[in-house]
Structure 1
Amino acid sequence: MRARPATLLAALLLVTGCAARTSPTAGPSSPLHTGPSPALAPAADPPPAGGPPTVALPGTTGQFSATDIAWLQLTAAMAERLLPMLDLVSNRTTDRGWRRLATRIGTGERTHLSRSRRLLADAGAPVVNPHEGHDMPGMVTDEELAALRSVTGRAFRTLLTRHLRAHLTQSVRIATAEQQGGAHPATTALAAAVVRAGTVHLARLDHLDRPPTLPPVPAPPQ
């Protein structure tokens, strides 16, 4: 039996020890409530057909579910941790292909981060990063960023490849869960954009990370 997308996103958060932190003033009917919600913890009764529970919030278009809020907070936190790493690329490698890829990814991440923050503001969710200091798949840590700052050239590209691949893979995975299981139209549309961009960037990363092609060895003279 396949897991529902909302359940998948909740499982990803719980497995990493990082469920969405919520507002202490939110009421029990809000997706920001600190207690268990159907999208983030097991419910006593089966959820209604048609997707996770939703809550209409003032000043919004459509309804945000707890899954929407959790994904927006997580994807924003991941982008915030990735951008300082991408900013190192121009001073750590002269390879134009890597510089071009970092610029493209950085542009997309800043756009997605800006949209995530606007949606979180629309939802009345906390503007602080609820995942600060959490060790999660795809999220660059302070130690990893320090290691990147200490190397250049090929060593830098090796570490960069590892962290970029982890980030993009995890971003696509959780965005796919949100795209299929979220409730708020603009949020699921953003998730679809993250999936498309991440898939393209992973393909470009695979191309750059290929081992160099060696010229053919000439046959010995007869």
Structure 2
Amino acid sequence: MRQPTASMLLTAVLLVAGCGTGPRDPTSTTAPAPTGPPATVATAPTSTAGPFSPTDVAWLQLTVAMAERLLPVLELVPARTTDPAWRRLAAQVEATARADLDRARRLLADAGAPATNPHEGHDMPGMVTAEEVTALRAATGSPFHRLLAGHLRAHLAQAARVAVAEQRAGAHPATTAMAGAVIRGGNAHLTRLDRLDRPTSTARATAQ
């Protein structure tokens, strides 16, 4: 299946009614670099204020939704593995996710966007489903590490793709700057993940 471009992904999230399962493969290790033209925005998903564009608001809302879906997964780690390296990685990713969540919420408040999550209940690319969380809760040790690695890689790669689209098509300086930080932080976490998940790391060469 052809991987969606960053432009296609961000355009899709602007159409809230179209949020669905999308392409998902939590064990995939391939995260191709985003290609394609900037996202085209037809209508705003919410009202915006000041210099925020509809693309800025849509990306911030998706960032909140993705972080809120990832945090419960990371909170499982201390009880499912005793490996200090995996615990350390999870703590690092969790700290970044919480910081991104707080920053995105502040920017959405500045934009005058509603506090509600328009993606609530939508299983989108990069998001862990309820069934997958159940599987994680039932696993420990190496099986847990394998599942966790797949979900982390999917989340981090997807977050980077849509952040690139925000950089290209966004208008608000602080929001596009945050997108750059998300890309840099995600790449750093992916590098750390590859060191732990060596058998599957080589397939990610094109993501750097």
User: Which bin holds the TM-score, normalised by the shorter protein?
Assistant: 0.7 to 0.9
In the alignment, what sits opposite 1:73? 61
* Aligned-residue offset at 1:68: 0.3
Give the superposition deviation at 1:118. 0.5
Which protein, 1 or 2, shows the higher relative CO under an 8 Å CA cutoff with sep ≥ 6?
A: 2
In the superposition, relative to structure 1, how do residues 56 and 66 fare at CA in structure 2: closer, same or farther (>3 Å)?
A: closer
Which of 1 and 2 has greater Rg?
1
Distance in 2 (CA, whole Å) between partners of 1:67 and 1:133 is: 21
Letter in 2 for 1:173: R
CA distance in 2, matches of 1:16, 1:93: 38
Change (3 A) 1:82 1:185: same
Query: Per-residue displacement from partner, 1:87-107 (whole Å, max 9, x unpaired)?
Result: 111111111111110010000
1:16–1:136 CA contact under 8 A, matched in 2: no
Aligned 8 A contact 2:126 2:159 in 1 = yes
Q: Is 1:17 aligned with 2:18?
A: yes
Which runs of no fewer than 5 residues in structure 1 stay unpaired? 20-37, 44-51, 212-222
What is the CA-CA distance between 1:195 and the residue it aligns to? 0.4
In the comparison of the two structures, how many residue pairs are matched? 176
| 1:83 maps onto 2:71 in alignment | yes
Residue 77 and residue 56 in structure 1: after superposition, are their counterparts in 2 closer, same or farther (change >3 A)?
A: closer
Instruction: Say which SS state the counterpart of residue 168 (structure 1) adopts.
Output: helix
Structure 1 pair 197/131, CA: closer, same or farther in 2 (3 Å)?
A: same
In the superposition, the TM-score normalised over structure 1's length comes to 0.72
Shift of the 16–92 alpha-carbon distance from structure 1 to 2, 3 Å rule, reads farther
Using the TM superposition, name which of 75-84 and 137-146 deviates more: 137-146
Alignment CA distance shift 1:118-1:101 (3 Å): same
- Provide the rounded CA distance (Å) in 2 between the counterparts of 1:121 and 1:56: 10
Aligned residue number for residue 144 of structure 1: 132
Equivalent pairs: percent with the same residue?
62
Note the aligned Cα RMSD (angstroms).
2.7
- Say which structure is richer in helix: 2
Residue 46 (structure 1) aligns with: none
Which of 149, 153, 168 lines up with 1:165 in the alignment?
A: 153
Cα distance in structure 2, aligned partners of 1:98 and 1:86:
10
